[in-house]
């Protein structure tokens, strides 16, 4: 055993957990920890705003399927992390936020920057605590990883006083398998048999894939199960990448105004295998317009709180959906369970494609968001990972940008954080430096975190940023035009984003026609620096705002 500082103990546990990159904006109260990280193999990605650090850690965690780490200094620095950490909490993304605080001798004296950071993070994390003794550092940091990764995944927060970082302790090395479980709870053989019995009584079963699928070690078994049963697979909005639309049995996302094919198959369903699903409001509206009340539901996931929370189930199981799908696929083959729904799915997808094709006007000027999304899909390689922001344009993207490979779609989920996708995409790129990564966002969203262009250039994160530019906040415009008789004040001016990119040391292009968009995407894929495509978009092609759906229910 060796005697080390509290700051070094933080880094030693990060190394035990396999952390390779952290995201931060430096400050005095975390400087001891940053110095120890500097002397370790861990890469420091310095951001230009703490919000960017939180969203980058979120994107990195999604790509890695592990814990993302972000750090900030005391007070304003910690507060600036809040939007990103809250988004991770809603999306169940494991992020460790470490914030520095003052020496304990001046705490509770209303000193410079002082904020109750533990209380600040408590409602938006699974666990928020302060480390008061250097000897407690290893135990507390290990607990943070354990809490973030077990059960319902999510962010955690640790506040570390400067005197704890400087203090000394005797460090005992450890390994993750000795202080946190690595295997989620298994499903019983009896439950698998019961699901098979329900399948035998069904005529049109549908698999509904959720977020847990993407975090399961057995996610590859989803394809095996679908192909064994020959049944369609729909996805929730947050898990669009769980099953590719390009697969003959893939029908895409569900939700009003979003998934034509996915909605159609669920309306036919008499049995829904909800694998790792959180029934979110955007996908279901919490009613029976998409999820029929006549269908039996088998709900399987790692979060006990989600099982049966929105819809009553025929069978609810708390376990990892991966091994369940593996066992079901084997049992289906043994029992010759083949629903032969491939032709029905093909017909549903063909009908949906006709509806979607009718929405495209490729010659329209200004460009339609529908045509922009379709063109991007045609040009980007299938393995491209996309991060899509919140906003009205995103409704068209989700309808017209088909996912061709698993786990290639990210979205700020139930929190819908406008401005999240750009730093999130940078976090994904930090983990996947050799894969194409594309951020799709609106003009309002891009300006919220545009300062991270400097981070992207400095850290060689050469992603493509596509700005759907309608010179305003389109989702608010949709509300105000349709509900308030056209009275709105949500339009604004913008700088030329392609020129601004070049000022940061990146590159870009302004686009007004689809042929220009094609040229820009090809240039962006070849670029060695971040590439911003400023696409002039129509203000009139507005997706329906959510209140209209509620009004019609």
Query: Residue ranges of the alpha helices (H) in 122-240?
Result: 137-149, 162-166, 189-200, 211-215, 221-229
Q: What is the pLDDT of residue 217?
A: 73
> How does strand 68-72 pair with strand 156-161?
unpaired
Q: Does the bond joining 366 to the residue before it have cis omega, within 30 degrees of 0?
A: yes
For residue 443, give every residue at least 6 positions away whose Cβ sits within 8 Å of its Cβ, in sequence order, or none. 467, 468, 469, 470, 471, 472, 494, 497
Domain boundaries, the chain: 2-178, 189-348, 360-552
**What's 38's DSSP letter?**
H
H or E stretch including 421? helix 421-431
Q: What architecture is domain 2-178?
A: 3-Layer(aba) Sandwich (3.40)
Residue of 186, 315, 231 whose CA lies nearest to 223: 231
Compute how many other C-beta atoms are within 10 angstroms of the C-beta atom of residue 277: 31
Given a contact cutoff of 8 angstroms between Cβ atoms, the answer to whether 443 and 494 are in contact is yes
Residue of 145, 143, 138, 142 whose CA lies nearest to 170: 138
Instruction: With a cut of 70, list the residues of the chain below it in pLDDT.
Output: 257-258, 544-553
At residue 219, φ and ψ (nearest 5 deg) are -65, -25
At residue 80, φ and ψ (nearest 5 deg) are -70, -15
Q: What is the pLDDT of residue 258?
A: 67
CA 189, CA 119: separation in Å to the nearest integer? 44
- In 3-state terms, what secondary structure has residue 321? helix
Domain at 189-348, CATH from 3.40.50.10540, 3.40.50.1220, 3.40.640.10, 3.40.50.2000: 3.40.50.1220
Do domains 189-348 and 360-552 share one topology? The answer is: yes
Q: What is the pLDDT of residue 553?
A: 33
Q: What is the pLDDT of residue 544?
A: 65
CA 492, CA 472: separation in Å to the nearest integer? 5
Token match 């009275």: residue? 487
- In 3-state terms, what secondary structure has residue 125? coil
- The CATH number that domain 360-552 falls under is 3.40.50.970
CA 218, CA 403: separation in Å to the nearest integer? 20
- SS3 labels along 84-118: HHHHHHHHCCCEEEEEEECCHHHCCCCCCCCCCHH
Tell me how far apart the 2 most distant CA atoms of the chain are, in Å.
72
CA 209, CA 225: separation in Å to the nearest integer? 12
296, two tokens: 């039996």
Q: What is the pLDDT of residue 547?
A: 39
Residue of 36, 2, 7 whose CA lies nearest to 161: 7
CA 269, CA 294: separation in Å to the nearest integer? 8
Q: What is the pLDDT of residue 420?
A: 96
């Amino acid at each position: 055993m060796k005697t080390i500082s509290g700051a070094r103990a933080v880094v030693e546990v990060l190394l035990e957990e396999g952390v390779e990159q952290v995201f931060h904006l430096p400050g005095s109260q975390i400087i001891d920890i940053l110095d120890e990280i500097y002397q370790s193999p861990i890469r420091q990605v310095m951001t230009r705003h703490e919000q960017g650090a939180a969203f980058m850690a979120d994107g990195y965690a999604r790509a890695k399927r592990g814990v993302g780490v972000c750090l900030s200094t005391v007070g304003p620095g910690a507060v600036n992390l809040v939007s990103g950490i809250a988004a991770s909490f809603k999306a169940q993304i494991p992020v460790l936020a470490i914030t520095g605080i003052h020496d304990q001798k001046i705490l509770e004296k209303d000193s410079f920057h002082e904020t109750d950071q533990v209380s600040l993070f408590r409602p938006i994390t699974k666990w928020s605590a302060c480390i008061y003794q250097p000897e407690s550092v290893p135990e507390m940091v290990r607990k943070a990883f354990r809490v973030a990764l077990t059960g319902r995944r999510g962010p955690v927060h640790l506040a570390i006083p400067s005197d704890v970082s400087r203090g000394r302790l005797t460090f005992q090395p450890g390994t993750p398998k000795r202080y946190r479980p690595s295997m989620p709870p298994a499903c019983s053989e009896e439950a698998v048999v019961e699901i098979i019995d329900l399948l035998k009584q069904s005529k049109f079963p549908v698999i509904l894939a959720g977020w847990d699928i993407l975090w399961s070690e057995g996610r590859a078994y989803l394809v095996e199960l679908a192909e064994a049963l020959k049944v369609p697979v729909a996805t929730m909005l947050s898990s669009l990448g769980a099953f590719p639309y390009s697969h003959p049995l893939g029908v895409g996302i569900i939700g009003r105004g979003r998934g034509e094919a996915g909605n159609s198959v669920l309306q036919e369903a008499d049995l829904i295998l909800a694998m790792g699903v959180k029934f979110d409001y955007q996908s279901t509206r919490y009613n029976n317009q998409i999820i029929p009340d006549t269908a039996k539901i088998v709900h399987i996931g790692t979060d006990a709180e989600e099982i049966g929370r929105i819809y009553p189930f025929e069978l609810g199981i708390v376990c990892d959906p991966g091994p369940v799908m593996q066992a079901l696929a084997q049992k289906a083959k043994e029992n010759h369970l083949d629903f032969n729904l491939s032709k029905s799915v093909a017909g549903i997808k063909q009908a949906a494609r006709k509806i979607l094709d009718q929405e495209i006007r490729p010659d329209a000027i200004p460009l339609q968001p529908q045509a922009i999304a379709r063109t991007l899909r045609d040009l980007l390689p299938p393995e491209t990972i996309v991060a899509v922001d919140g906003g009205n344009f995103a409704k068209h993207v989700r309808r017209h940008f088909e996912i061709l490979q698993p786990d290639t779609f990210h979205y700020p989920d139930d929190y819908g954080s406008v401005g999240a996708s750009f730093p999130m995409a940078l976090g994904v790129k930090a983990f996947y430096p050799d894969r194409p990564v594309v951020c799709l966002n609106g003009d309002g969203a891009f300006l919220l975190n545009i300062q991270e262009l400097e981070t992207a250039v400095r850290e060689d994160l050469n992603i493509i940023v596509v700005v759907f530019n309608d010179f305003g906040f389109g989702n608010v415009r949709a509300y105000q035009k349709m509900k308030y008789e056209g009275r709105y004040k949500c339009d604004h001016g913008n700088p030329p984003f392609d020129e601004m990119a070049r000022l940061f040391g990146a590159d870009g292009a302004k686009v007004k026609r689809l042929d220009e968009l094609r040229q820009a995407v090809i240039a962006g894929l070849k670029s060695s620096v971040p590439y911003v495509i400023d696409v002039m978009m129509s203000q009139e092609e507005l997706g329906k705002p959510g209140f209209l759906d509620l009004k019609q229910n």
